[in-house]
């Protein structure tokens, strides 16, 4: 993948996990690529599950080391929590040289004000998920979970993942996509005409109108079969699909 000295990359929904070595290798290969981008924004679900910064599985440190190396080459690293890694905290961010951002953040992307987010808050038709989201994002709930032993947290993460997979199978596809009115309202609220997000696993570029002005929504894909990367420079943005690495 080509890049320029002023390129900015966006990724989301990597769902890194010890049981998915191909995705792990693909991500680490992305971090090692030259030339180094100016910035990398990770818009949530970097990990399939994250049970706390004290998790002792090797994958976390491998990812942190790769991010540190990229930061050492001059790339600014940013992270927005997803629905799978919402417990990722300041300790892992420090070890990885990541800057944690609010869930809705506006950046200046080569002169264009751009709203970036994970994207789950746009799926307002999925009422059951939004109810669960409010529960697991509550500080008291998170503090209670993080106080439990690692083994108990692993069991909870496995249970939540299994329930999520079951719920997705039972829901119509339209419910798990963004609500167009919610997209319009949040872009109008933040005064932007460009939005970048993940979560839905439906990569693409969508044209729309915000206050009767042309706007667009750029959606990142998941890393189940190769890698989805949005690369932006002064010439514009390109959504690229990286091939899956050889076993």
Average pLDDT score, the chain: 94
Average pLDDT over residues 61-70: 98
CA dist., res. 48 & res. 106, Å (int): 26
The pTM for the full model equals: 0.95
Could you identify the residue written with the tokens 């949040």?
A: 186
Which residues does 239 contact at the CB level (< 8 Å), separation at least 6?
Answer: 203, 204, 205, 218, 220, 221, 228, 229, 230
CA dist., res. 243 & res. 236, Å (int): 22
The predicted structure's pLDDT at residue 164? 87
Q: Which two tokens stand for residue 179?
A: 């609500």
The predicted structure's pLDDT at residue 48? 96
Average pLDDT over residues 184-191: 98
| Lowest pLDDT segment from 111-115, 146-150, 170-174 | 170-174
**What are the pLDDT digits (tens) for 234-244?**
999 999 998 87
- pLDDT > 70? residue 123: yes
CA dist., res. 92 & res. 238, Å (int): 30
Which residues does 39 contact at the CB level (< 8 Å), separation at least 6?
Answer: 8, 9, 75, 76, 77, 78
Q: Which two tokens stand for residue 63?
A: 């990812």
As separate numbers, helices (DSSP H) first and strands (DSSP E) second, the chain gives 7, 11
- pLDDT > 60? residue 76: yes
Residues comprising the chain, all counted: 247
Could you identify the residue written with the tokens 């080509």?
A: 2
Q: Which two tokens stand for residue 232?
A: 């932006």
CA dist., res. 146 & res. 150, Å (int): 8
Longest dimension (CA), the chain: 53
The predicted structure's pLDDT at residue 208? 97
CA dist., res. 88 & res. 90, Å (int): 7
Percent of the chain exceeding pLDDT 70 equals 97
CA dist., res. 80 & res. 44, Å (int): 5
| Spatial contact of 22 and 14, defined as CB atoms under 8 Å apart | no
The predicted structure's pLDDT at residue 247? 64
- pLDDT > 70? residue 4: no
């Amino acid at each position: 993948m080509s890049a320029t000295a002023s390129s900015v990359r966006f990724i989301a929904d990597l769902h890194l996990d010890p049981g998915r070595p191909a995705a792990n290798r693909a991500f680490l290969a992305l971090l090692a690529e030259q030339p180094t981008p100016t910035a990398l924004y990770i818009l949530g679900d970097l990990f399939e599950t994250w049970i706390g910064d004290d998790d002792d599985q090797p994958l976390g440190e491998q990812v942190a080391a790769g991010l540190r190396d990229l930061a050492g080459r001059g790339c600014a690293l940013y992270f927005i929590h997803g629905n799978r890694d919402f417990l990722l905290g300041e300790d892992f961010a420090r070890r990885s040289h990541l800057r944690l951002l609010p869930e809705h953040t506006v950046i200046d992307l080569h002169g264009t004000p751009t709203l970036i987010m994970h994207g789950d808050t746009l799926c307002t038709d999925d009422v059951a998920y939004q109810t669960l989201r409010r529960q697991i994002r509550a500080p008291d709930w998170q503090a209670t979970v993080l106080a439990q032993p690692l083994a108990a947290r692993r069991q909870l993460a496995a249970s939540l993942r299994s329930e999520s997979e079951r719920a997705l199978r039972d829901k119509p596809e339209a419910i798990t996509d963004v609500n167009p009115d919610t997209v319009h309202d949040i872009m109008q609220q933040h005064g932007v005409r460009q939005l970048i997000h993940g979560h839905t696993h439906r990569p693409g570029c969508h044209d729309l109108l915000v206050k009767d002005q042309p706007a667009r929504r750029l959606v990142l894909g998941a890393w189940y079969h190769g890698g989805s990367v949005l690369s932006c420079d002064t010439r514009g943005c390109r959504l690229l699909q990286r091939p899956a690495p050889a076993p």
